[in-house]
Amino acid sequence: MMNATSLTELRDRLRLFVAERDWDQFHAPRNLAMSVMIEAAELGEHFQWSGANDAPVEDSRREAIAHEMADVLLYLVRLADKLDIDLLEAASRKLVLNAVKYPVEKARGRSTKYTELD
């Protein structure tokens, strides 16, 4: 199987996958957003009872975790496609906004929410 090298390529492969199965009828934004959340929760299950200073993930769990991460990504790419959102552009814009909310001099080494930074 060929690997996608960009989100655009992944989106196009996903479009074909969905079209071949006639699944577009099920891919309303609400359904896709719910699927992102469900898959993210399944990803979270792998870490549910882990401590804050978790040991490295062993190989036996890594593949299952990778599958859940891929599910989140695929549903997110599909949702972005349905809403005509460029994910890379949106992520770049959000990173700029986060840099304003979390200036280095106030946020470095802290996990405090931006509204609580002094």
Whether residue 3 is found in the same domain as residue 34: yes
Same domain, 14 and 46: yes
Specify the pLDDT at position 58. 80
Do both 70 and 27 map to the same domain?
yes
Same domain, 44 and 22: yes
Please tell me whether residues 65 and 101 are part of one structural domain. no
Q: What is the pTM of this model?
A: 0.86
- Domain range for 47 is 1-85
Asked if residue 45 and residue 9 are part of one domain, the reply reads yes
79 and 38 belong to one structural domain? yes
Domain count, the chain: 2
pLDDT tens per residue across span 50-75: 776 766 788 888 999 999 999 999 99
Spell out the SS3 assignment of the chain.
CCCCCCHHHHHHHHHHHHHHHCCHHHCCHHHHHHHHHHHHHHHHHCCCCCCCCCCCCCHHHHHHHHHHHHHHHHHHHHHHHHHCCCHHHHHHHHHHHHHHHCCHHHHCCCCCCHHHCC
